Homo-oligomer: A and B are copies of this chain.
Amino acid sequence: MLSDDDQTTHIDEIVETIVYLYTESRRLTKQAAREIGLTGPQLTVLKLLDTLGDVSLSSLSERIRAQNSTVTGIIDRMEREGLVVRERSTADRRVVYIRLTEKGRELARSVPVEPMEIFRTVLSTLSSDDTRDLLRVLGKLGKRVRALVREHEAVSADDRRKAAGS
């Protein structure tokens, strides 16, 4: 049995470590991107497009967990550099597909780095047991956070409903 103090210390350490892993991984992606004249997010988008093929701007946003307005800017700059083109869908003229140009594709293939590279590299050195444990516990965490968020959003929505009705 762990004491409350131990538990608190452990939580701090876990948060510390996850923040470290995340920020460090992003920093190194950025550094790799720099070497070919790109920014971190731009490299991420480039790699995604090479992997997924043409995708709409919204699904791109969803994939990299950013708002549409953010991605609009990123694509603007990549289009300016001739790495991608925008192509309006004929089926639904609200939708914009992002397509790699030849230049963009070549650049994408010339870089060996994956998004969150260092992170993945190190993860692959874990034993099967460690990987399984990590996945098991993180899975629980993700599930519980999602549940809490849903709950929280529901309360907020209810607040707004009440406010509107008053």
Residues of B within 8 A of A14 (CB): 123, 131, 134-135, 138
Say which one of A70-78, A79-87, A142-150 lies at the interface with B: A142-150
Residues of B within 8 A of A119 (CB): 15, 18, 141, 145
By size class, the interface of chain A is 35 or more
Chain A binding surface, main DSSP class? helix
Q: Which of A99-134 contact B (CB under 8 A)?
A: 116, 118-126, 128, 130-134
Q: For A17, give its contact among B13, B124, B142, B148 (CB under 8 Å).
A: B142
Q: Does A139 contact B (CB under 8 A)?
A: yes
Residues of B within 8 A of A121 (CB): 148
